[in-house]
Every structure is written in structure tokens, then in C-alpha cells.
């Protein structure tokens, strides 16, 4: 569900991409396209396989 920074109505978006930056310098994943959930056009689903332990930063581009 994508909500605006201001307001209460969900946003209708065409695409969502997710990237991940890992705990090791230069380690990154993506961008991975998040697909619309079949049950709701407002929900997006993506699979990202993280194989390195540590703190990851996830970024979402709408």
C-alpha cells in the first residue's frame, strides 16, 4: 500500500522498484520490480534474496 507523505488516500501507482544496500561496501541488490498483488491493486510484492548478514538499507522508488 503506497500512502502519500501528506493526506490519507492511498496513491495509485504504475510501478514500484526496490533496491537494497548491504553492510559491506559496494554490496547492493536490485532494483527489483515489485508486482501488484492479485488480491489488491494497491499492494505490491517483491522477492529479494539477502545472503549477507548485517544491517541493510532498503529503498523504494515509486
Residue 25 has pLDDT above 80, yes or no: yes
Lookup: cell for 23: 553492510
**pTM for the complete prediction?**
0.70
- Higher-pLDDT residue of 37 and 27 is 27
- Higher-pLDDT residue of 48 and 10 is 48
DSSP 39: S
Query: Residues 11-22: what's their mean pLDDT?
Result: 87
Residue 21 has pLDDT above 90, yes or no: yes
Contact 30, 19 (CB under 8 A): yes
Amino acid at each position: 500500500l503506497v500512502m502519500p507523505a501528506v493526506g490519507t488516500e492511498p496513491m495509485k501507482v504504475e510501478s514500484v522498484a526496490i533496491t537494497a544496500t548491504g553492510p559491506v561496501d559496494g554490496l547492493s541488490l536490485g532494483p527489483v520490480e515489485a508486482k501488484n498483488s492479485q488480491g489488491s491493486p494497491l499492494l505490491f510484492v517483491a522477492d529479494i534474496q539477502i545472503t549477507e548478514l548485517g544491517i541493510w538499507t532498503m529503498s523504494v522508488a515509486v
